[in-house]
Structure formats: C-alpha cells, structure tokens
C-alpha cells in the first residue's frame, strides 16, 4: 500500500521554529497524531488533531491539517536542544495506527 | 511509558530459536498493538488486538504469533520462520479516544 511520507531529516538552529511535514493516505482517518521518539525509547504522544479541525495549538506546538491535500504539519516554536528526536506522524484507518517514516530533527546551538 | 511494561529491555537469541516478548498493561485498555522498528525506519504493524481472545494480522505478521488470553497481556512470539528478527519491538495500547500509549520497547538481537 501507499506509505505515510515524511522527509527524513531536519536541522534547525536553537531558538528558530521547526516545521515537520507529513503526507498521509487515508481520508477516513478520524484522528491524526504526532509522536516523538528519543534514542532507544518508545514513542511519546505529542499531540493529535481531530479530522474536522484545520489547526490545533498546544503551547509551543502547532498542528495544521489540510484534508484536501492530505497534508499534516507540526510546527515547534522556539526549538530547543531537548527537541532533538525523531518525529512520527500517524493516521488511523480502521482501528489501526499507521506511522510515517519519521523525521529526525537535529537542533544545533 | 505509562502503565505498559515490556521486558526485558535487551534480548539475545540464537538463530533457529523461538522467543517470546512480553507486554503487560495496567491501563485497562482494550486494544493492544505490536510494532517493529528497524534502524532509520518507521514503525511497522505486526499484530493488533482490539479485544480479549481476538487479534488481527498487521502488515508484517509472517513469522510472528500472538495471543490475547487476558486484557492485560499481549505476548509476541518471534518464530524461527521470521527471516530478519533482529529489531526494536514496541508494544502499545489504545484508549477509547484513540490515543496510543507505548511501552519502552525490547531490542531483540538474533545471531
């Protein structure tokens, strides 16, 4: 089947904003998620957006959803070194959770 | 990691041996999932269970088996038929609001 696509790498300077993009495949997904994975650890749910919303803001995180283009993005404001991790988007067709390939975010001083 | 326990964190086995990875949860969630993660790659769904005594194959079920005899437990057996078993295995649960919670993972190395 089709993959949930993300760019592999993103490198930003500390204090700048990061934008991580995701193209998903299933228009019936009720929720779309963003997860964070630090090295050697499981995934941590960062935020999610319901499919009838265009935008959701949660402190430094802003999620934008374009259902027409099946495009999801995560903006991290004032990016810190502690934000360095792999970020996964996920869609939810039929009770399953299908993950993107992950974007490795590197934050440098 | 919430109330999901995966043990051990690191597991080593010889090729040709079956090995069972444990996943226990105390979150009272009905749905449980097993994923495999390979270096530099995303997660791939192996099996999932939406209720006790029922489970479905995910995208890469070949060479794996599961059971769901209790709500709290969803063990994954990696059989000798799995051609490339060395990977990081993640167990997860899902609540009624579709939020997934992940365990800390088990890194399996087969030599």
Which of B40, B41, B48 has its CB closest to that of A96?
Answer: B48
Q: Is pLDDT of B1 > 50?
A: no
- Burial string for B61-96 (b: 16+ CB within 10 Å, else e) reads beebbbebeebbebbbebeeebeebbbbbbbbbbee
Question: What is the percent of chain B where pLDDT is above 90?
Answer: 68
Which of B41, B59, B100 has its CB closest to that of A45?
Answer: B100
Q: Is pLDDT of A1 > 90?
A: no
Residue among B84, B104, B78, B80 at smallest CA distance from B92: B104
Residue B17: how many other CB atoms lie within 10 Å: 11
Q: Which residue of A has its CA nearest to B58?
A: A96
Residues A60-95 pLDDT 10s? 999 999 999 999 999 999 999 999 999 999 988 776
Residue A2, pLDDT score = 58
Residues B43-64 pLDDT 10s? 888 999 999 999 999 989 999 9
Contacts of A88 by beta carbon, 8 Å cutoff, 6+ apart: A6, A34, A35, A36, A37, A43, A99, A100, A102, A103, B42, B43
CA distances A65 to A10, A82, A91, Å, are: 20, 25, 12
């Amino acid at each position: 089947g089709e993959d949930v696509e993300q760019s592999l790498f993103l490198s930003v300077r500390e204090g700048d904003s990061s934008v991580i993009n995701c193209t998903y495949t299933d228009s019936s997904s009720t929720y779309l998620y963003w997860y964070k994975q630090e090295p050697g650890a499981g995934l941590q749910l960062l935020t999610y957006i319901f499919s009838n919303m265009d935008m959701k803001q949660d402190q430094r995180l802003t999620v934008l959803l374009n259902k027409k283009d099946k495009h999801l993005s995560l903006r991290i404001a004032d990016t810190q070194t502690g934000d360095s991790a792999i970020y996964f988007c996920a869609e939810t067709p039929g009770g399953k959770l299908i993950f993107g390939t992950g974007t490795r975010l590197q934050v440098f001083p | 990691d919430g109330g999901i326990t995966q043990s051990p964190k690191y597991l080593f086995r010889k090729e040709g041996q079956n090995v069972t990875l444990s996943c226990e949860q105390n979150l009272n969630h009905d749905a449980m999932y097993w994923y495999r993660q390979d270096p530099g790659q995303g997660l791939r769904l192996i099996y999932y269970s939406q209720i006790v005594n029922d489970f479905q194959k995910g995208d890469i079920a070949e060479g794996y088996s599961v059971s769901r005899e209790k709500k709290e437990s969803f063990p994954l057996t990696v059989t000798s038929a799995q051609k490339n078993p060395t990977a990081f295995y993640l167990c997860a649960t899902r609540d009624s609001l579709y939020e997934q919670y992940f365990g800390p993972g088990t890194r399996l190395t087969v030599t």
